[in-house]
Each structure stands twice: as structure tokens, then as C-alpha cells.
Structure 1
Amino acid sequence: MAALASSLIRQKRAVKEDPTNRPVVNKRKPCPKSNKSLCQKQILVLISKVRLCGGRKSRNEKRPEPKLKGIVTRLYSQHGYYLQMQPDGTMDSTRDESTQFNLIPVGLRIVAIQGAKTGLYLAMNSEGYVYTSEHFTPECKFKESVFENYYVTYSSMLYRQTQSGRSWYIGINRDGQVMKGNRVKKNKGAAHFLPKVIEVAMYKEPSLHQLAPEPVSPPRKTVKTSDLPSLKNGRKEAPKADAS
């Protein structure tokens, strides 16, 4: 009897120790490292594409152009005339209040004077003549100064008297004629203007163009008067008078 019991115990132990009879446990196999890196690479590529699309969108968006705060105004002379720019670019004066100019600040107390209707810029050439230009050039810059009587003067930033250094001013004489800048004196009424502001406006900053070289002309006889109209940038100035 004891021998039979011991035999049964040995058979049970043999069954337990047999590896073929052990139950199979389902274990998850770890994902190969190569597959993990591939997934990570795909995610990084996707993120980079999203960033690239966002960057392209911002590049395509136009940057806001710089704006300058100026005024729409009438320039009233102390002699009772309004400075006027004709549709063909001719400068003269009028008693009518319909004339308008854009005063655009382009520096510290420096302005560009533009016809509100024509879009042309007021300028002064090396001979002192006032003319109009389609482009904004150094001759279109004027220094704005307040005089003692609270009138305003506009002098050329580019030209002045060689010996005395006296500035050249925009001026209208008693007959309503636009004068040569080198004949206008600072303390005379011809140079004094009263800006009558209509409204405040925002303007695009003018693009500065260089002056075109003047063609060399053959020698000619000196003309007695210096108030003949001259051509500049395709525009003709009105005859000017020298009376202040």
C-alpha cells in the first residue's frame, strides 16, 4: 500500500515538471524599436508640415504700410488769396475756398504739399520757380515754420541764397501771382500763409525719387527778366511776379 502511494506521488511530480504540459500564457510582444522610431518620425513630419503651412500663411499676408498723420487744408495767404493747383499742374491763386491741399509730414517740421484733387506734389527748383511733380523728390520738401503773427511760412529744404544763406519761400504777391522763391522775404506778407484745416487724415508715406539730371543746353543770350516760365518734370509753371 505504501509503495502504491509513493508511486502515485512520483507520477504527479513528473507531470508537473514536464514543460510540455504547462499552460501557455499569452504575452504581448514589445514593439520593435524600429517601429517606435518610425511612428515618432511620422508625428514629427506632421508637426513640421503644420508649422510650415502656418509660416507660409504669415509670409503671404501683406504687412501694413506705414501711415502718416496729416491734414487736408486750404492755404490762405495774408494778401487774401488761396494757393491753388490747376488740373494741368499750373500753380496760381484764387479767392475761391474750393482749393484743397494735403499736408503730409515727412520729417521734423518738414512737410510735403500735395494737391488733394490732382495728387501732384508742390516743388521748387534750383532757379526758385514753383512747379508740380508727379513724384516725390527732394525738391518737394518744405520746412514749415510758425511766424510771429501765427502765420506759417514754407521754405525749400534744398535751396537757399548762396552768399547770405537766406531761405527761399513759397509766396503770393498782392496781385495773386505765385512768386519765385528767391524773391520772397520771410518778414513780408507774401510768404505768410494761414492753414485752414478741413480734416485730419492718414496718408501713405511718399516714396522718395531722385531728381532727373537736367539736360545740358547750348549757350544762349541772357534774358533781362528772370520770371520766364520753366519746365520741370513735364510740368509748366505759371508766370511769376516779383512784387511782394
Structure 2
Amino acid sequence: MFKILLIEDDETLFKEIKDRLTDWQYEVHGVNDFQKVMESFAQTQPDLVIIDIQLPKFDGFHWCRMIREHSNVPIIFLSSRDHPTDMVMSMNLGADDFIQKPFHFEVLIAKVQAILRRVHNYSSTTSDLRMWMGAAIDMESNRVKNDQGMIELTKNEIFILKLLVERKNKVVTREYLMDLLWDDQRFISDNTLTVNVNRLRKKLAEIGLGNAIETKVGQGYTAIEKVEK
């Protein structure tokens, strides 16, 4: 049974989300003290975190930063605000998805299932190292390392990189990436993929690979691999 940490201060909404997720056999935990979210996180050791942006004391962005300092656990943001920057901020901080309130519970369930299925499949089937442009991609630890340093990626970022590297020097369409990332494109915006790829590029730049993923306008992306002559 997967464990979910639901960080939501609206008691009515918390109970409704918990009941719906419990019906799908998920184990849902909450937060009693919103000043001690990280203590709840450490105690729960969740497989996925669902977090509201507007919270007492500190907002969801703060706690996302704190979680990302210690873990690559998948994170879904909830927000009642309609600012486009909220989604961009969420993705830049390392979130895996963003849901605007009010929402259909079927959408939430679909996103939870897709993310957990993806994470579970990779943890059980991708224990190998992949080499690309002189860098070692560790699919288990979500790390990329070369002689210039090491970076840690989120589950979405490592998956995007994996798909691109598997088809190096070929164009991988945006539609193909979205279909595999989120299973059903109805539940994902085009901008979310852009944010994820841009965040991946920024991290790769830290180890000298910022230009190794090229955008093919109107098509998709290509992971460049120079051919030795």
C-alpha cells in the first residue's frame, strides 16, 4: 500500500481527499502541526506528497523547498489561486504536477496513479547506469555525474532524460513525452512539459551539459551525442 502525505489545512477538503484516496487503497497521512511539516514527513516516509500552496505559518512553496533538500519523492501541488506563476513556481521548485482548485477527484486520482505507477516501475526495473556525453546517469538514485560534478534530478526530470538519451540524436516529440509522463494528455498542460525540460537543462548546465538537449521548434527535443570519428 502506497503512503501519501496530504498537507492540507482545510479539514473538510482534507477528509474528502483522504476518503477518496483510501477508497483506492492508499494510506493517507495528514499534518497536525503546520510548523512541523518536516517532522510529519520524516515520520510518514511517504511515497507521494500532496500539498496545498496556501497554508498556515509557511506556504507550500516553503515546504516543497525543504522536502527537496532531503528527498526526490513525487510532489503534487494544489492551489485555489489562479495565478499562472504558481504553476511555474511549483515546477521550478521540483514539483511533479499541479492541480487547480476546484478539481474533479477523478483527475486527482488519475494523476496520483500515473505518478506512483511511473515511480514504482522505474525503481523496480531501472537499476542500471546509462552513459551519455561522458556522464553516468544513475536511474536508481536520480543522479547524473561526470568529471565536472554531480546533480540530482526529480522523477520527472530523470524520466525525460532517460527517454531522450534512449533516442539520442533523434527528435522525441512533445506529444510522445507527455503521453508517457502523464499517461493521458487531458490531465497535463503543454507549459508543464516546457518547465520540466527547462529545469532539466538548468541542472545539466551545472555539469557542462546545458546545451546537450536541443529544442526542435514545432517538433520536440533531441539529446545530442557526438559521434567520435
Instruction: Classify the TM-score, shorter chain.
Output: under 0.3
Given the two structures, how large is their TM-score scaled by the length of structure 2? 0.24
* Bigger Cα Rg: 1
Between 1 and 2, higher relative CO (CA 8 Å, sep ≥ 6) is seen in 1
Given the two structures, how large is their TM-score scaled by the length of structure 1? 0.23
The structure whose residues are more often strand, as a share, is 1
The structure whose residues are more often helix, as a share, is 2
